[in-house]
Each structure stands twice: as structure tokens, then as C-alpha cells.
Amino acid sequence: HQRSFDLATVPGADLETRLEQLAAWIVAAHARGERYGLRVGIRDIPPGAGNEHRERCLDALALYGVAS
């Protein structure tokens, strides 16, 4: 099973809530062994799996809007 997560489509009252929801979905998909990709702003991480991929996606969320 493969998923694609996109910040632009996540419902939520504010950016922080939406980023937290994406992080939760990434952790859950990783725990299920699913492949998933992530789009955050202009950053597009292709589908992948494993610990390194999870960390790459979570780092992208943590740094979103910080270094612009």
C-alpha cells in the first residue's frame, strides 16, 4: 500500500495543527510498513519506506517555514 501526504490538503485551523497531523500520519504509515510520499510547500519527497525515509519526512515538517 502506498500513500501520498500533502500539506495543502490537510484540514486544520492553523499550520501547526496541520503539520502535527501530517507527522502523526507519517509515524502511523511507517509503523504499518507502508510506502508514502510527502509534499510540503515546494518540497516533494517521493514515496519510500524505512527509518531514513521517515526521518527525512519528519525533518521536512520540522523545518517547514524555518529556512525560507
Task: With beta carbons less than 8 A apart as the criterion, state whether 38 and 19 touch.
Answer: no
Q: How far apart are CA 66 and CA 62, in angstroms?
A: 8
Residue 54 has pLDDT above 90, yes or no: yes
56 within some domain: yes
Residue pLDDT, tens place only, 3-31: 999 999 999 889 999 999 999 999 999 99
Q: How many domains does the chain have?
A: 1
Q: Which domain holds residue 6?
A: 2-63
68 within some domain: no
Instruction: Please give the average per-residue pLDDT across 39-53, as a whole number.
Output: 96
25 three-class SS: helix
Residue 45 has pLDDT above 60, yes or no: yes
In this prediction, residue 67 carries a pLDDT of 56
pLDDT above 90 covers a percentage of the chain that reads 88
Q: How far apart are CA 44 and CA 12, in angstroms?
A: 21
Of 34, 11, 33, 32, give the one whose Cα is nearest residue 21: 11
26 within some domain: yes
Task: With beta carbons less than 8 A apart as the criterion, state whether 5 and 38 touch.
Answer: yes
